């Protein structure tokens, strides 16, 4: 996703982004979403971030997924601070290296998109669509 011409970030030489990667989870019907905050040079940002995370049912990220078949949980890196809207959205805190892993459990293996709002820019970052093969 692109970045807006934010004068403050540009002046400081910071055009940050969020790297989202998807991998099979450790248990049945799980997939792990790894969120890594990066600087403009592509280096990991070594500090914790508190961010909004949600599962959307479209590539624009502007609609919340049907949470009746899914749940979000801490995937072992960072902390899930709280869930909202029947576990389709949450507030998450990364570790000190700017990384967080969120486990999505979805018995229906919906074709949803993981969304992260970057607290530095307010930009919503949307993953590729999750496929059945992404779940264990």
For the chain, the structural domain boundaries read 7-134
Residue 32 CA to residue 18 CA, distance in Å, equals 16
Residue 82 CA to residue 6 CA, distance in Å, equals 30
Residue 75 CA to residue 80 CA, distance in Å, equals 9
Domain 7-134 in this protein, CATH class:
mainly beta
Per the prediction, the chain carries an average pLDDT of 86
Q: What is the pLDDT of residues 25-47, one digit of tens each?
A: 888 899 999 999 998 888 999 99
- Low-confidence stretches of the chain (pLDDT < 70) are 1-15, 67-69, 85-86
User: How far, CA to CA in Å, does 20 sit from each of 4, 49, 59, 123?
Assistant: 19, 14, 14, 14
pTM above 0.95, yes or no: no
Residue 64 CA to residue 55 CA, distance in Å, equals 6
| CB half-sphere exposure, 28, CA atoms < 13 A | 2
| DSSP run (H or E) holding 77 | none
């Amino acid at each position: 996703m692109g970045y807006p011409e934010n004068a403050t970030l540009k002046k400081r030489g910071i055009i940050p982004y969020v790297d989202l990667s998807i991998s099979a989870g450790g248990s049945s019907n799980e997939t792990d979403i790894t969120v890594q905050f990066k600087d403009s040079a592509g280096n990991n940002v070594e500090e914790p971030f508190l961010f909004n995370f949600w599962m959307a049912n479209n590539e624009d990220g502007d609609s919340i997924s049907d949470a009746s078949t899914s749940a979000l949980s801490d995937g072992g890196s960072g902390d899930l601070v709280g869930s909202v809207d029947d576990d389709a959205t949450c507030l998450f805190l990364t570790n000190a290296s700017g990384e967080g892993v969120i486990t999505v459990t979805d018995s229906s293996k919906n074709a949803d998109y993981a969304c992260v709002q970057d607290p530095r820019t307010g930009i919503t970052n949307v993953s590729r669509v999750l496929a059945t093969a992404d779940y264990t």
